[in-house]
């Protein structure tokens, strides 16, 4: 494909993603940054490291899905990188059950895909009585079946993957629920702080670890409430190897430089540590369309 990098492609023109060609992350790259050359990586860590090392300008990283929830691995990786979030992208997911050319749905015994895709199609998988085989990504599952030439195996992947690997779509819209959507964050080495303008919507993403104090989280969140800042996401995760304190990822509707946000962060600092702002950026228009932002 012409959009894939060539040897002469400059690093700033490259956007890295996890998975094989035809993965949903590849689709997200094409739809959100069509002017950049998408480059597949074996792992999320590799995609992020390409940006850190200057081998790519951006990385497209999935963080949550409307059906299957968060992509847990990302919350473990974010504290290990110094990359900044400069934007977000919502990609509608249309899962297809795909098999080798000429294969029939009745002959399929095993379905292969990424754990998130398998979870998003769990009801339909059970209806067909299929066994599952976990793979590192959706398009990679399709690629493996193409190499194995096994007509008893199918993959859950995109129609783009079926086209790229010369496979048949055995069943479209294989996901359990309509409106299945994945949110991606776009990571860069350099923060891109937009100029604050009154009346403009902004999202700020941050990470922090609560102090081992009674009601530390409750008290830390109080500053956002008293300053009228709406919290749109709060995820907990453990990254210290102990159970003494919990870390959090948070999205709020605010610009990091507006006074209310400054006040809220000052109050948060009394009850949390290792506070790190990941980035301030303009929310995707998808949020307004779907009414998920005030």
Q: Which residues are catalytic?
A: 182, 184
Residues 286, 266: contact at Cβ < 8 Å? no
As to burial, measured by CB atoms within 10 angstroms (0-12 exposed, 13-18 middle, 19+ buried), residue 212 is: exposed
As to burial, measured by CB atoms within 10 angstroms (0-12 exposed, 13-18 middle, 19+ buried), residue 11 is: middle
DSSP 8-state assignment for residue 137: -
| CB burial readout 252-288, b (16+ within 10 A) else e | bbbbbebebbeebbebbeebbeeeebbbbbebbebbe
Measured between alpha carbons, how far is 278 from 82 in angstroms, rounded to an integer? 8
Written as six digits, the tokens of 34 are: 């069509």
Q: How many CB atoms lie within 10 A of CB 247?
A: 21
259-271 vs 216-226: helix axis angle to the nearest 10?
170
**Close Cβ partners of 177 (under 8 Å, ≥ 6 residues apart):** 66, 67, 120
Measured between alpha carbons, how far is 164 from 143 in angstroms, rounded to an integer? 9
Place of tokens 């209310």: 260
Q: How many CB atoms lie within 10 A of CB 195?
A: 7
């Amino acid at each position: 494909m012409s959009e894939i990098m060539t040897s002469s492609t400059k690093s700033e023109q490259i956007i890295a993603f996890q998975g094989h060609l035809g993965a949903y992350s590849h689709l997200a790259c094409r739809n959100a940054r069509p002017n950049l050359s998408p480059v597949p990586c074996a792992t999320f860590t590799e995609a992020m490291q390409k940006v850190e090392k200057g081998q790519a300008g951006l990385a497209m990283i999935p963080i949550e899905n409307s059906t299957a929830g968060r992509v847990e691995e990302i919350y473990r990786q974010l504290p290990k990188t110094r990359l900044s979030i400069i934007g977000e992208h919502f990609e509608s997911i249309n899962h297809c059950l795909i098999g080798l050319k000429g294969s029939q749905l009745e002959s399929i015994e095993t379905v292969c895909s990424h754990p998130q895709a398998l979870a998003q199609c769990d009801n339909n998988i059970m209806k067909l009585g299929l066994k599952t085989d976990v793979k590192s990504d959706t398009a990679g599952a399709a690629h493996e079946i193409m190499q194995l030439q096994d007509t008893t195996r199918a993959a859950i992947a995109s129609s783009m993957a079926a086209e790229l690997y010369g496979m048949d779509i055995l069943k479209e819209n294989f996901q359990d629920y309509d409106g299945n959507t994945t949110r991606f964050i776009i990571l860069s080495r350099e923060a891109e702080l937009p100029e604050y303008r009154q009346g403009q919507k902004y999202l700020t993403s941050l990470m922090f670890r609560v102090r081992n104090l009674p009601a530390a989280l409750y008290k830390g969140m109080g500053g956002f409430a008293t300053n009228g800042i709406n919290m749109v996401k709060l995820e907990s995760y453990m990254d210290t190897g102990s159970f003494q304190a919990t870390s959090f990822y948070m999205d709020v509707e605010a610009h990091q430089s507006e006074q209310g946000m400054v006040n809220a962060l000052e109050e948060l600092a009394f009850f949390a540590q290792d506070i790190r702002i990941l980035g301030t950026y303009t929310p995707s228009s998808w949020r307004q369309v779907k009414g998920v932002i005030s």
